[in-house]
Chain A
Amino acid sequence: MSEPKIDIMIPTLNEADHIGECVRNALKLGPVYVLDSFSKDGTQQIARDAGATVIEHEFVNYSAQKNWGIANLPFEGDWIFILDADERLTPSLVKEVRERLARPDAANGYFVNRVLLFMGREIRHGGLYPSWNLRLFRRGKAMYEDRSVHEHMVCEDPVDYLKREMLHIRRETLSQFIDKHVRYADMESNEWVKLKLGVSNVAKPKALFRNILGVRQWLRREIWPRMPVRPLWRFMHMFVLRLGFLDGRPGWHMARLMMSYEYMISLLYRDKLVRATQADYSTDVFHERRNHYPWRAQQPPAKPDQSPDSNAVNTQG
């Protein structure tokens, strides 16, 4: 069996801090394509200098961006590995991937585990580990479902799990971390409002129930948003039930930050729901503002542009 050809796709936006190291690390597995959303911090140049092919494409949401990349980047191999800029492949993982894909009974997609490094410690409890994501798949066999954040892949059977892990480096400052989670909370709360107002586009539960991850997703999306005192549950779950306290001080801080994050989602959800639904909301300022929330428009979601020579694309490298 010949050596499997794997292309690596790294979606980025303003990742100058990570991208150089990440590309050099990923080149050990195969050619690297950086799918950039018009970064303003020089990510493109750093990636090119490190040896990657850079393609820029306008960002709509994570799943649309990655689906566009899967369909349109000039991949040459049979396999695609999707890596985030803050993730690194360990030597053991690279070796395992090569061995597994070379076998004749290789699966169509592989879940990869990752371990979070935070405050100088490997976080192995608190429900943050193991963290399985389908990142490695045969070209043409998998797509992301349409959801603006925390999206999941839908892949043709069979799928399998890799033994070795990649590293997820939390290098950003707390300020950047909070900013990012404010953005996530913004998007997540939009999804909840859509769910509440019945205009959601997420995959049907039937497709999600195929495996245990599907059940977890269903719990997370349908049941979890309806739980009372959710932020406190999140903390208890992470720190006590999932033994987050075994990670010491980083575990404690992580649990509290995640509690804040849950709380931000709740706050934004309540606030948006009040603004979107309550007609007599004290003053007309809210009536004007309502037009600025995406679900008011209720238009069908834009399909990712499938044509490889679209004007929006700027191929370089």
Chain B
Amino acid sequence: MNPTPSMEDNNHPRQALPISVVILTYNEEHNIGPAIRSCSWCDDVHVLDSGSKDRTCEIAASLGAKVWVNKFQSFGQQRNWAIDNVPCKHPWHFHLDADERFTNALVQEMTDQLGPDGTRSRHAAYLVPNRMIFMGKWVRFAGGFPAYQVRLIRHGKCRFVDFGHGQREQTTGTIGRMKDAYIHFNFSKGLVEWMTKHNQYSNREGAEGMLIRQEKHPIWAELQSDDPMVRRRAMKNLSYFLHGRGLLRFLDLFFVRGGWRDGKAGFHYSAMIGMYEHWIELKIAEKESNWRQATDALAERLLQEPAQ
């Protein structure tokens, strides 16, 4: 695999693939152009917008994509809306995001797997890996490659349900796996946006952590459960009682998962996630020991001291 992906060489197969591309957008004017251009192999590109206030729709239309608008409720709902209402020409749909790009290798692999008319494959959907790009580099180890997601689905055989921040697939058929990845620019909108967003996530996590700490879950019992979901949940609950959460997370990403092999970008990515975990721990401390009330009481006392 080529470690530094390039979008410059556009020698995609000339013959059309049996795949329609659906791109969900909201205020993506900086990403949508390159995203659509990376679909040059596809003759049926649809953009499903959730009411962008910038030039997303205009740019998409000018590049030959068909633009649809539906109010956003959740990722699962929006993707299902696309499956039901967007008139895709081909039997297979690829759900690309605006900050993602196709690579030639992935297009080639899809061609081989699906065949010219899309009947070669027996699967209902495919898990596709993605390469997270950070500071111009692919962060393979710290970024948890391959981080599979179901993106390529056969029309009528697969739907989505909401799960966490995103969605999960729901299908009765089998799910295949692609070896080659698409490229994911998680940080295309800049790190300020990442930090602001993770500040909010850590509020939510912190509130949840505080509840867990108060509720006194039977964590030790849950850790020995047979259900892996319960065990994973219990591990997470346990983590709210740990000290040095940020440092532990950094060590996990950088050493255990091998973030050091990604070089500088791997270090910084691990440290950023560590910082985020540190915020969670601090927010729990803030709520549990009422920082604000204590500060206000002190200020009031100092302002009432007589002038000297």
Contacts from A to B (Cβ < 8 Å):
25, 88, 90-92, 94-95, 117-122, 164, 167, 169-171, 173-175, 178-179, 182, 185-186, 253, 256-257, 260, 263-264, 267-268, 270-272, 274, 278, 281-285, 288-289, 292
Contact = CB atoms under 8 A, between A and B. Distances in A.
Contacts of A270: 135, 268
B199 A285 contact: no
B272 A267 contact: yes
B172 interface: no
B109 interface: no
A92 B308 contact: yes
B166 to A, nearest CB: 22
Interface in B103-136: 133, 135-136
B292 interface: yes
14 contacts: A117-B295, A119-B289, A119-B294, A120-B293, A171-B295, A175-B200, A182-B192, A185-B195, A260-B279, A267-B272, A274-B135, A285-B31, A285-B33, A285-B188
A173 B292 contact: yes
Given A117-B298, A282-B136, 5 more contacts: A88-B299, A91-B303, A118-B291, A175-B203, A289-B30
Contacts of A25: 303
A120 B291 contact: yes
Contacts of B299: 88, 117, 167, 169
A91 B307 contact: yes
A271 B190 contact: yes
Contacts of B308: 92, 95, 164
A258 to B, nearest CB: 12
B158 to A, nearest CB: 29
B84 to A, nearest CB: 30
Nearest to A183: B192
Nearest to B203: A175
Nearest to A94: B307
A195 B31 CA distance: 29
A267 B191 contact: yes
A214 B77 CA distance: 58
A182 B195 contact: yes
B136 A178 contact: no
Given A91-B303, A119-B291, A173 B286 contact: yes
Given A179-B199, A284-B7, A118 B295 contact: yes
Main secondary structure of the interface of B (DSSP, over half): helix
A178 B279 contact: yes
Given A283-B7, A289-B30, A260 B278 contact: yes
Please provide the 6 A-B residue pairs with the shortest distance between their CB atoms, ordered closest to farther. A120-B294, A91-B307, A95-B307, A182-B195, A285-B34, A119-B291
A257 B135 CA distance: 24
A5 B202 CA distance: 48
A310 B4 CA distance: 53
B68 to A, nearest CB: 23
A73 to B, nearest CB: 26
A268 B7 contact: no
Contacts of B303: 25, 88, 90-91, 167
Interface in B239-291: 268, 271-272, 275, 278-279, 282-283, 285-286, 289, 291
Interface of B: 4-7, 30-31, 33-34, 37, 101, 133, 135-136, 183, 185, 187-188, 190-192, 195-196, 199-200, 202-203, 268, 271-272, 275, 278-279, 282-283, 285-286, 289, 291-299, 302-303, 305-308
Contacts of A170: 295
A292 B54 CA distance: 14
Contacts of B289: 119
A119 B298 CA distance: 9
B291 A268 contact: no
Most B-side CB within 10 Å, residue of A178, A274, A284: A178
A14 to B, nearest CB: 15
Contacts of B282: 174, 253, 256-257
Contact of A171 (B188, B191, B200, B296): B296
Contacts of B5: 282
Contacts of A182: 192, 195-196, 199
Contacts of B188: 285, 289
Nearest to A271: B191
Nearest to A289: B30
Contacts of B278: 256, 260
A191 B6 CA distance: 31
A288 B34 CA distance: 10
A185 B199 CA distance: 14
Contacts of B31: 285
Contacts of A92: 305, 307-308
Most B-side CB within 10 Å, residue of A91, A175, A281, A283: A283
A169 B192 contact: no
A120 B135 CA distance: 40
A30 B78 CA distance: 58
A288 B307 contact: no
A170 B308 CA distance: 25
Given A91-B303, A271-B190, A282 B133 contact: yes
A93 to B, nearest CB: 8
Contacts of A164: 308
Contacts of A260: 275, 278-279
Contacts of B183: 283
Contact of B6 (A173, A179, A186, A282): A282
A263 B185 CA distance: 21
